[in-house]
Chain A
Amino acid sequence: MFLLPVSFSINADYFFLQFTIPIDNGDSVKNAEADSQRTLYPYVTGTSIVAIKYKDGVLMASDMGGSYGSTLRYKNIERMKAIGKHSLLGASGEISDFQEILRYLDELVLNDNMWDDGNSLGPKEVHNYLTRVMYNRRNKFNPLWNTLVLGGVKNGESYLGMVSMIGVSFEDNHVATGFGNHLARPILRDEWHADLSFEDGVKLLEKCMRVLLYRDRSAINKLQIAKITEEGVTVSQPYSLKTFWEFKAFNNPTAGAEGSW
């Protein structure tokens, strides 16, 4: 078995080669699959997003890291963006797919604005649009490798929902993606209640983010908290959480079993 270059295209700085692997019966369908351009695995990924409904709207927290496998490659990625007037989108998973989704949503919001009819897309509509996009990409076996969190307020009603990369979606009072689902959700189930004040909401999110910081390998200590209310979206400046490492056992780890090296 040997590889044959089939087509060349030169693009600015680099060569881009496409290979087909010769298959016994030369079936064109199989050939097409062999040089598939579909997503196989994610490259640069963001970790969890945690979000809760509170008294005035929705609060969302994420860190600013972008991991390239086990390397922490990027430390300044904003994984939460405002969509239109009423929504806030947070994404975990493949960062480039998130940027692609932002392009789709840009077009959606632009078309919505061009109608100029006084109506604007609410969070429910954006959530539904995203669910359809994710589901249809999954149907074509070329998923957008993200888990999205969509929060917003319109006409006094808060909305918070989530979509996974294969199109599973739901809404709830609190959501978390990735590791957050395992570590943060139990804390939220215990301590969330309706009509949280802003300060209590932030404290609750910080509690969740701290646990994630301690226990999630891909989390970094640089987070943002975004707030969306009837007035609009504000994304905070990045800041870090206080952590505690002065446990006695950490100071002298071999205290119980001294070795010779």
Chain B
Amino acid sequence: MTKQHANWSPYDNNGGTCVAIAGSDYCVIAADTRMSTGYSILSRDYSKIHNCKADKAVLSSSGFQADVKALQKVLKSRHLVYQHQHNKQMSCPAMAQLLSNTLYFKRFFPYYAFNVLGGLDEEGKGCVFTYDAVGSYEKVGYSAQGSGSTLIMPFLDNQLKSPSPLLLPAQDAITPLSEPEAVDLVKTVFASATERDIYTGDKLEIMILKADGIRTEVMELRKTLSECWQHTLSIVLIRISTLGSLCYLELCLKFSCVVNRFSFSYL
């Protein structure tokens, strides 16, 4: 009798993308709000950004949402304890180290969470820390994690022209862009990622951290592919109807309505 294999997996990928960009006196953290499983959408309005009740650090995670929620709870409670013991809030680099340790603690049954931690460091400059699922992390000037990261990261590399991490002396990777320019870049980047990544879309949540506080912006993203195709389709249909009969046109319009209803359908 062979050993039984489980027919369920403790992990699931709920998709989504997170991005953060560090500036000279600000940090932008953004994530989409789509939560999926397989080819279905579970929610169009699920936030991946968690502020750990810290002024200077904001965590954004994509991956398996049950693990993400548990991870965020752990960090929130550890931060609370820190505040009670040290009578001050955790700094961003301290939170970064804590997150790394928390992730590595479950090295042999990992949190399936792909994290980007953004905030302001001790000098008030923006800082972004990027992680893998088991806690290896690095301070960078910008980062993207999640299902759309492969689409976004090369574009950010091109636009933000970060110095090589191999240079000595170490150069700061903080972007010289102004805050409105960085927010604009983030919006552009997500709009593009939504076009090609089925797990990214619906809404974009942007948090901008500055010394005086945190500001939140929400932007609508494409919900379905047929929002753009419907226009093209209607033009094609008018051409067809001059050749064929009217009922064929009706059939095509009905099809485009059905297509609009289902989340990941495409023509």
Give the distance in Å from the alpha carbon of A143 to the alpha carbon of B109 in the complex. 16
Q: Restricting to A161-196, which residues have a CB under 8 Å from any CB of B?
A: 162, 164-172, 181-182, 185-187, 189-190
Which residue of the partner chain, among A165, A166, A186, contacts B262 with CB atoms under 8 Å? A186
Query: What is the chain B residue whose CB lies nearest that of A163?
Result: B66
Interface size band for A = 20 to 34
Give the distance in Å from the alpha carbon of A40 to the alpha carbon of B10 in the complex. 12
Q: Restricting to B1-33, which residues have a CB under 8 Å from any CB of A?
A: 1, 3-4, 6-12, 14
Smallest CB separation, B19 vs chain A (Å): 22
Query: What is the chain A residue whose CB lies nearest that of B42?
Result: A170
Which residue of the partner chain, among B41, B109, B261, contacts A190 with CB atoms under 8 Å? B261
Q: Restricting to B48-76, which residues have a CB under 8 Å from any CB of A?
A: 64-66, 69-70
Which residue of the partner chain, among A34, A40, A169, A189, contacts B66 with CB atoms under 8 Å? A169
A74 contacts partner chain B, Cβ-Cβ < 8 Å: no
- Chain B residues with Cβ under 8 A from A17's Cβ? none
CB atoms of B7 and A41 under 8 A apart: yes
Smallest CB separation, A165 vs chain B (Å): 7
Query: What is the chain A residue whose CB lies nearest that of B4?
Result: A40
CB atoms of B69 and A169 under 8 A apart: yes
B46 contacts partner chain A, Cβ-Cβ < 8 Å: yes
Q: Restricting to B143-196, which residues have a CB under 8 Å from any CB of A?
A: none
B97 contacts partner chain A, Cβ-Cβ < 8 Å: no
A141 contacts partner chain B, Cβ-Cβ < 8 Å: yes
A1 contacts partner chain B, Cβ-Cβ < 8 Å: yes
B35 contacts partner chain A, Cβ-Cβ < 8 Å: yes
A85 contacts partner chain B, Cβ-Cβ < 8 Å: no
Give the distance in Å from the alpha carbon of A151 to the alpha carbon of B109 in the complex. 32
CB atoms of B6 and A40 under 8 A apart: yes
Smallest CB separation, B91 vs chain A (Å): 30
Which residue of the partner chain, among B3, B4, B45, B66, contacts A172 with CB atoms under 8 Å? B45
CB atoms of A3 and B1 under 8 A apart: yes
CB atoms of A167 and B66 under 8 A apart: yes
Interface size band for B = 20 to 34
- Chain B residues with Cβ under 8 A from A171's Cβ? 43
A138 contacts partner chain B, Cβ-Cβ < 8 Å: yes
Smallest CB separation, A164 vs chain B (Å): 8
Interface mask (A123-138 → B, CB under 8 Å = 1, otherwise 0): 0000000010001001
B216 contacts partner chain A, Cβ-Cβ < 8 Å: no
- Chain B residues with Cβ under 8 A from A187's Cβ? 261
CB atoms of B66 and A135 under 8 A apart: yes
- Chain A residues with Cβ under 8 A from B45's Cβ? 172
CB atoms of B37 and A33 under 8 A apart: no
- Chain B residues with Cβ under 8 A from A189's Cβ? 261
Smallest CB separation, A225 vs chain B (Å): 23
CB atoms of B4 and A166 under 8 A apart: no
Which residue of the partner chain, among A145, A168, A186, contacts B37 with CB atoms under 8 Å? A168
CB atoms of A33 and B12 under 8 A apart: no
A109 contacts partner chain B, Cβ-Cβ < 8 Å: no
Query: What is the chain B residue whose CB lies nearest that of A30?
Result: B3
Give the distance in Å from the alpha carbon of A40 to the alpha carbon of B40 in the complex. 25
Give the distance in Å from the alpha carbon of A139 to the alpha carbon of B111 in the complex. 11
- Given A1-B1, A189-B261: A168 in contact with B70 (beta carbons within 8 A): no
CB atoms of B66 and A141 under 8 A apart: no
CB atoms of A170 and B1 under 8 A apart: no
Which residue of the partner chain, among B7, B8, B40, contacts A165 with CB atoms under 8 Å? B8
CB atoms of B7 and A21 under 8 A apart: no
Smallest CB separation, B202 vs chain A (Å): 12
Smallest CB separation, B230 vs chain A (Å): 15
Smallest CB separation, A128 vs chain B (Å): 10
Give the distance in Å from the alpha carbon of A168 to the alpha carbon of B12 in the complex. 9
CB atoms of B10 and A166 under 8 A apart: yes
- Chain A residues with Cβ under 8 A from B9's Cβ? 166
- Given A33-B3, A34-B3, A168-B14: A186 in contact with B261 (beta carbons within 8 A): yes
What are 16 A-to-B residue pairs whose CB atoms are below 8 Å?
Answer: A40-B6, A131-B66, A141-B6, A143-B8, A143-B10, A166-B11, A166-B66, A168-B65, A169-B66, A170-B35, A170-B46, A172-B43, A185-B40, A186-B262, A189-B261, A190-B261
Given contacts A166-B9, A169-B69, 19 further A-B contacts (CB under 8 A): A33-B3, A34-B3, A36-B4, A41-B7, A138-B10, A138-B66, A141-B10, A143-B8, A164-B37, A166-B8, A166-B11, A166-B66, A168-B37, A169-B65, A169-B66, A170-B43, A172-B43, A185-B40, A187-B261
